[in-house]
Chains A and B, each alone.
Chain A
Amino acid sequence: MFEVGKVRQDFPLLKKAGESSKPLIYLDNAATTLKPQSVIDAVTRYYTDYSVNIHRGDYDLSYQVSDYYEKTRKTVASFIQADVNEVVFTAGASASLNIVAYGYGEKYIQEGDVILSTESEHASSILPWFRVASQKNASIEYVPMTEDGQITIENFIHAMHSKVKVVVIAHISNVLGYVVPIKELTEIAHSFGAIVVVDGAQSVPHIQTRVKDWDIDFLAFSAHKMYGPTGIGVLYGKYHLLDSIEPYYLGGGSNARFDRCGNITLKNPPYKFEAGTPAIEGVLGLKAAIEYIESIGFDAIEKAEHGLRSYLIHHLKEFKHIKLYNPDATSGIVTLNALGIPSQDAAIYLNSKGIMVRAGNHCAKILLDVLKTPDTIRISLSFYNTKEECDAIIEALREITLEKCIDLIF
């Protein structure tokens, strides 16, 4: 049975906040999430109990830590319903997305090809493909959005054509929080012969991922947005695709053999993408993070986050001075502005009440043409947030004025 009060005891920052009179209301979970003690312990355990490198040594400690490292790969594979040799450890979603753009773009994209994406993509998702397009004389096209910023199956079908070779899309947009119908879109894309690259940074922590069922070709996500450490993430790819593309960078650990003439024999996937000593503590922390999420369960996570979102929307929509951009989204992202107040001033005002939100364009700079505003405030929820925390931001937004924002500097 999910109990938010109990769950909050697992997070040292929240626990400490509960004991202090100074509020700490963290509502920027789409940027990164707080870490539970079990993740922190897994990270420090590596340095305390192992500390040695993986895959190299003939000694027990290396064997043990390698085993732990490879067990994490199994944990990830089962978490996203993939095969174990389809899970590549990377430095994060950005690194994963770059590996795909470089590898697939270099090998398969030709002059005149089209990369289809959306205007709500994060910079990490779309910028690597901008470069591919410019190097290969290919072009980028965007699926038109509905007026409220959604991607529909109908619009997607209209945007698809035989020149589209790659579809790059976030399962959940980090600005508007809509969940796209990824399985349906993938089926359509495949019927045109295109592959589908999914940015799962905002979705993997919040809803059950089923890569095989959805039949997506690549998936990228970061550990730090799912209660794990920073600097570590995952690239999932169908094995035959991983096998057919070249790694973005080379080095120790990714090659099986090389000689003085420059001949290189790379290892098989996933290892050919993992040159150099990885963030071992990050991988072990990721394992703890997944185990933590599974101990709560996606049913409970979705129910908690959806409940908090509905509660927020129910109250905020009553305020005439608050503009809500995505009242109907189903993820934990609520995007808004206080009319007449730049988002940054509003965010700093909220900070004065101990409330942390994100102001700005959320790394999705082209979406702003759709929203018709240069920037927004983004509230992003996690299961560890409470109704009381929602009340705090509702109250702060009820009373916010430009004068109050300015008065903070006196």
Chain B
Amino acid sequence: MSDLMKDPLILRQIIMDHYEYPRNHHLTEDEHYHKVHMASESCIDDITVMARIEDNIVKDVCFDGVACTISTASTSIMTELLIGKTVEEAEAIVKEYYKMVELLPFDEELLQEAIAFHQVGKQANRIKCATIGFKAIEECIKEHKHE
């Protein structure tokens, strides 16, 4: 495991930064976007993720809504990770992220800043928060494939 991952101060900084200044934090009226609304029954999380997928490339991902720190930061990181990737690459990243959340061995290179959540699986009550944005983009990709 890299030194970076062992330093909670750096990981916390990544999460704080994405929570306080979430990236791609807006929605669009553009009809070319897939739109997935995720609302948790058991907590405050209520977010919408939108994605434009063209020529097998994830051209843009954005999100908005009310959510806790972990949901907001993880979804923000997800948008940065996936923009510009091919659909297959995006799927691989999502799959790798789930592996990490399940505390299984995973590829750090693929997940970049998302490794801030590498311990989240130990907190059962936060797994939902850490995966809400990834679940949403998964739905967007599924919708795209069904078109």
Contacts and interface: CB of A to CB of B under 8 A. Distances in A.
Interface string A320-358: 000000000000000000000111110010010000000
Of listed A344, A348, A360, residue having the most chain B CB within 10 A: A344
A101 to B, nearest CB: 23
A181 interface: no
A402 B8 contact: no
B66 interface: yes
A409 B70 CA distance: 9
Contact of A360 (B8, B43, B125): B43
Interface stretch (B11-19, B26-34, B82-90): B11-19
Contact of B69 (A351, A360, A361, A405): A405
A300 to B, nearest CB: 35
A5 interface: no
A359 B125 CA distance: 13
A403 interface: yes
A407 B19 CA distance: 14
Contacts of B129: 344
A345 B68 contact: yes
Given A345-B68, A345-B70, A351-B125, A410 B12 contact: yes
Interface residues of B, number: 24
Contacts of B70: 345, 406, 409
B15 A406 contact: yes
Interface in B40-94: 43-46, 66-70
Nearest to B69: A345
A407 B12 contact: yes
16 contacts: A344-B43, A344-B44, A345-B68, A348-B125, A359-B43, A361-B44, A374-B44, A374-B46, A402-B16, A402-B19, A402-B69, A407-B12, A408-B123, A409-B120, A409-B122, A410-B11
Given A408-B126, A409-B122, 13 more contacts: A342-B44, A342-B67, A344-B43, A344-B45, A348-B126, A361-B44, A402-B19, A403-B16, A406-B12, A406-B19, A407-B8, A410-B11, A410-B12
Interface of B: 8, 11-12, 15-16, 19, 43-46, 66-70, 117, 119-120, 122-123, 125-126, 129-130
Interface of A: 341-345, 348, 351, 359-361, 374-375, 402-403, 405-410
The 4 closest A-B pairs by CB, nearest first: A410-B8, A342-B68, A344-B68, A374-B66
